[in-house]
Amino acid sequence: MMCNYNDYGEVAIKAAKAKGTPEENWLKEVKKTFINSVSSQKKSCPKSAFLGLCEKGLIKGIPEGKYTRSIDNKAYAVKAIEILRNNTETTYTPKELWIKVKIELLILKKDHNSQMDVVLALWNEGLIEIL
């Protein structure tokens, strides 16, 4: 299957599989992936989506804990997992999944900012806890 998530999705997969804390792992992997772009390394939306999933105990091998102060990006990622779990026969692009999240959370004026790439990468890699 062709996966079409971006580099933040790859960062999330590597960070989820690494030993150490989710925050340290994200920082290490994002620095390796975006060597020449400090702004990409500091981008908060995909990081907050990843840490939000970690915080809720949704990523295999990572215990629930306090990993992020994000409210919105965590909520987007958690809602996306709920949508994926309820529609296991459907394959989504990041943009399609974002549209579903926006509809369900009644978000009007927000653009997708790599959060769904993180969610879909972890989902497709089998790193999301099954209920």
Q: Do 53 and 81 meet the contact criterion of CB atoms below 8 Å apart? A: yes
Query: For residue 40, with 0-12 CB atoms within 10 Å meaning exposed, 13-18 middle and 19 or more buried, which class applies?
Result: middle
Answer whether residue 5 shows pLDDT above 80: no
| Model pLDDT for residues 70-125, shown as the tens digit of each residue | 999 999 999 999 999 999 999 999 999 999 999 999 988 888 899 999 999 999 99
The confidence score (pLDDT) of residue 131 equals 73
The confidence score (pLDDT) of residue 2 equals 40
Distance of CA 23 to the CA centre of its chain: 13
Band of pLDDT at residue 35, cut at 50, 70 and 90: very high
Band of pLDDT at residue 1, cut at 50, 70 and 90: very low
Of 75, 33, 44, residue with least CA distance to 58: 75
